[in-house]
């Protein structure tokens, strides 16, 4: 039996997407590549819901995030950034490595900075060059629910609005242009359900103008270089990961065929089913209810249950993969991915496997209650 990847990424990849990687290697300076890359850019724009520039980087999600930092932030800048976990902490670190001052809105893991705190930070720092935010904190299973309201704050002072949505874009609404987002980054291996290695970034006109006026002193992540190559020839400045680009295009095509709104509804239903089902089994969510992620379900371990033996048994006996915790949360939580092609099958198999593993390890687990609670949320999905 194949593994069921219920990780917070990389997620399960549809066979159709995997087969796309079997396309022959082509010259990345050819008309064949122009057709491929133009299609990738256009489909990516539709998924991001933007008319802005799009670059599909051959890199991990962290590469796209780093590109979003080094092309904007300069020594002496001031940047507002909420921090509540591993990846938002890394984002703040990248900004500080650029020589900028960060206004960190620090909250405990599992809770987000409130919109009121963000508004206060803008009020107190009208000279901030940018607001950076992690849409979905992968390490703690929290999601920011007020991104649609930040545009008004940023427009008052002229600050750029930058969103790291590596672990959520494609799984929940994020209309980049409508919400006034200047730069947005994601990774193909999460909600888009492609293999890891392609990470798109969208750049709106305000951010592009700033980047062109002051290009970064870097080579590979120099976005103005990508803009130039695309405008002149629809090429990339460096050799792209061609098989992954084919797979990424196929994953985008599948998303657009299903319909973005239907995908968001499917993710929401599966997420609610996992929370309800695993809760009925006897597990408690880590994040506050109002901050819980759609794509990553973080759960507290019952007292006495060891992380390593639990996840190893789940993988070896039931072929279901989940992730452990980061840093201070190591051994305290485990995380279930709810993204990509996630369906009722993924949800029910995961709840059944987790329940059986808990029972095998001597913990009470009501599998029947868990499956019934999940089914109620799944409805006809």
Run means of pLDDT, 10 residues per run, the chain, 381 residues: 92 97 96 98 98 98 98 98 97 98 96 97 98 97 97 96 98 98 98 98 98 97 98 97 98 98 98 98 95 97 96 97 93 97 97 97 93 93 79
Spatial distance between the Cα atoms of 372 and 352, rounded to a whole number of angstroms? 11
> Does 230 share its domain with 304?
no
What does the DSSP assignment read for 311-330? Answer: HHHHHHHH-EE-EE--GGGT
At 210 the three-state DSSP class reads helix
Instruction: Identify the CATH number of the domain in which residue 329 sits.
Output: 3.90.1150.10
Number of domains in the chain: 2
Domain end call among 258, 281, 304? 258
> Does 199 share its domain with 147?
yes
> Does 85 share its domain with 197?
yes
User: Which residues neighbour 303 within 8 Å (Cβ) at sequence distance 6 or greater?
Assistant: none
Domain end call among 228, 258, 288? 258
Spatial distance between the Cα atoms of 43 and 35, rounded to a whole number of angstroms? 12
The residues with which 185 forms a beta bridge, in sequence order, are 164, 201
> Does 131 share its domain with 217?
yes
Structure tokens at 49: 């819901």
Q: Read off the DSSP letter of residue 5.
A: E
Instruction: Identify the CATH number of the domain in which residue 89 sits.
Output: 3.40.640.10
> Does 193 share its domain with 275?
no
So what's the pLDDT on residue 380? 76
> Does 279 share its domain with 237?
no
CA dihedral (343, 337, 270, 91) positive or negative: negative
So what's the pLDDT on residue 1? 75
Q: Read off the DSSP letter of residue 138.
A: T
So what's the pLDDT on residue 188? 98
> Does 166 share its domain with 205?
yes
> Does 79 share its domain with 188?
yes
Structure tokens at 170: 């494609």
- Residue range(s) defining the domain that contains residue 324: 4-9+259-378
Structure tokens at 81: 């950034």
Q: What is this structure's pTM?
A: 0.96
Domain end call among 229, 258, 287? 258
* Among 320, 333, 378, 345, CA closest to 137: 333
> Does 326 share its domain with 196?
no
So what's the pLDDT on residue 327? 83
> Does 248 share its domain with 267?
no
Spatial distance between the Cα atoms of 269 and 262, rounded to a whole number of angstroms? 11
> Does 27 share its domain with 173?
yes
Cα-Cα end-to-end distance for the chain = 24
> Does 157 share its domain with 269?
no
């Amino acid at each position: 039996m194949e593994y069921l990847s219920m990780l917070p990424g990389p997620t399960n990849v549809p066979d159709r997407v995997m087969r796309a990687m079997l396309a022959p290697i082509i010259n990345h300076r050819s008309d064949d590549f122009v057709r491929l890359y133009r299609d990738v850019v256009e489909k990516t724009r539709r998924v991001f819901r933007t008319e802005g520039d799009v670059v599909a980087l051959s890199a991990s999600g962290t590469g796209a995030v780093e590109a979003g930092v080094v092309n904007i932030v300069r020594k002496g800048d001031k940047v507002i950034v909420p921090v509540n976990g591993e990846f938002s902490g890394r984002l703040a670190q990248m900004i500080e490595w650029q020589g900028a001052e960060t206004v960190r809105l620090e909250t405990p893991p599992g809770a987000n900075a409130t919109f009121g705190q963000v508004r206060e930070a803008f009020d107190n720092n009208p000279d901030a060059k940018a607001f950076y935010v992690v849409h979905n904190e992968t390490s703690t299973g929290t999601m920011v629910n007020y991104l649609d309201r930040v545009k008004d704050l940023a427009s008052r002072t002229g600050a750029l609005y930058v969103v790291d949505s590596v672990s959520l874009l494609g799984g929940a609404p994020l209309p980049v242009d409508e919400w006034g987002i200047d730069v947005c980054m994601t990774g193909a291996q999460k909600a888009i359900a492609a293999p890891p290695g392609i990470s798109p970034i969208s750049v709106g006109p305000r951010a592009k103008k700033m980047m062109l006026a002051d290009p970064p002193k870097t080579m590979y992540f120099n976005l103005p270089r990508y803009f130039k190559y695309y405008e002149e020839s629809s090429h990339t400045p460096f050799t792209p990961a061609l098989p992954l680009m084919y797979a990424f295009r196929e994953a985008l095509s599948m998303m657009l065929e299903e319909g973005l709104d239907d995908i968001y509804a499917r993710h929401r239903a599966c997420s609610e089913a996992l929370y309800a089902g695993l809760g009925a089994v006897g597990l408690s969510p880590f994040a506050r209810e109002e901050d819980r992620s759609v794509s990553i379900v973080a759960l507290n371990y019952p007292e006495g249950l060891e992380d390593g033996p639990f996840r190893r048994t789940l993988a070896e006996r039931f072929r279901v993969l989940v992730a452990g915790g980061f840093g201070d949360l190591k051994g305290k939580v485990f995380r279930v991915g709810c993204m990509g092609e996630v369906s009722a099958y993924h949800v029910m198999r995961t709840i059944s496997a987790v329940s059986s593993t808990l029972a095998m390890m001597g913990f009470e687990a009501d599998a029947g209650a868990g499956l019934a609670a999940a089914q109620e949320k799944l409805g006809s999905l």
